[in-house]
Chain A
Amino acid sequence: QVRLRESGPGLVKPSETLSLTCTVSGGSISSYYWSWIRQSPGKGLEWIGYIYNSGDINYNPSLKSRVTISVDTSKNQVSLNLISVTAADTAVYYCARDVKYSDSSGYYHWYFDLWGRGTLVTVSS
């Protein structure tokens, strides 16, 4: 059974860097897309970005200038770095497995089939 667990500091100071790790157990991270998603208190879900085998990475255009996602296949981990954080970055951060499949017509679609429990990161001095 594949499990995802986010870890990292729960408190980050404004202007500093938020760094989180998603550890995948029970399966390999290779050959899957992995996304980071966040949810500000009382708000909806916001996709941050995805990574696929280090070679295919895309970010939410609204965060692109501040975010980096990387993967360490030897540790089965996906990492998130978000620089220059402000209070607006306070949120629960989730990692999720992003499944790509093709339909009978050959078109591709995606869905998030597995999620971690999430970790709350508060940006405050």
Chain B
Amino acid sequence: SSELTQDPAVSVALGQAVRITCQGDSLRSYYASWYQQKPGQAPVLVLYGRNTRPSGIPDRFSGSTSGDIASLTITGAQAEDEADYYCSSRDTSAKHSVFGSGTKVTVL
């Protein structure tokens, strides 16, 4: 399978936690990676692997996987976290990358 499904939008109160999910068959074999994209900017990697943050990404970003669902959690959301978030992984063939449709996170 080559599809990753994300909820289109989610909102979170400032300082609260929000969980973004990504579902797909390939996630049973491959970890998801997560990207933050703000308007007019290129995506930025925020999480990969089991739960690894690149240098410079705040520790309020964390991840987990269970079965065919990967999750990105923002604990203590800040105004600057308002963005689109995309998950990605290889498909079940391992030859192609796929992206989820993206989740727009609004911080209230």
Q: A61-B96, A111-B33 are in contact. Are A45 and B45 (CB under 8 A)?
A: no
Decide: A47 and B48 in contact? CB cutoff 8 A.
no
Number of chain B residues whose Cβ lies closer than 8 Å to a Cβ of chain A: 27
> Could you tell me the dominant secondary structure of chain A's interface residues?
strand
Q: Could you tell me the distance between the alpha carbons of A19 and B95 in the complex, rounded to whole angstroms?
A: 23
- Taking the closest CB of chain A, its distance from the CB of B87, in whole angstroms, is 10
Of the candidates A58, A103, A118, the one whose C-beta lies within 8 Å of that of B49 is: A103
For residue A35, which residues in chain B have a CB less than 8 angstroms away from its CB?
A: 97
Contact with B along A52-92 (1 / 0, CB 8 A): 00000011110000000000000000000000000000000
For residue B90, which residues in chain A have a CB less than 8 angstroms away from its CB?
A: 109-110
Decide: B48 and A111 in contact? CB cutoff 8 A.
yes
Decide: A47 and B99 in contact? CB cutoff 8 A.
yes
For residue B30, which residues in chain A have a CB less than 8 angstroms away from its CB?
A: 107-110
Number of chain A residues whose Cβ lies closer than 8 Å to a Cβ of chain B: 26
Decide: B102 and A112 in contact? CB cutoff 8 A.
no
- Taking the closest CB of chain A, its distance from the CB of B37, in whole angstroms, is 8
Q: A35-B97, A108-B94, A113-B45 are in contact. Are A44 and B86 (CB under 8 A)?
A: yes
Q: Could you tell me the distance between the alpha carbons of A111 and B98 in the complex, rounded to whole angstroms?
A: 11
B52-108: which have CB < 8 Å to A? Answer: 54, 86, 88-90, 94-102
Decide: B45 and A112 in contact? CB cutoff 8 A.
yes
With most chain A CB atoms within 10 A of its CB, the pick from B89, B97, B100 is: B97
Decide: A109 and B95 in contact? CB cutoff 8 A.
no
Decide: B102 and A45 in contact? CB cutoff 8 A.
yes
5 pairs from A and B in contact (CB 8 Å cutoff): A109-B49, A109-B89, A110-B90, A111-B49, A112-B35
- Residues of A in contact with B (beta carbons under 8 Å apart): 35, 37, 44-47, 50, 58-61, 94, 98, 101, 103, 107-113, 115-118
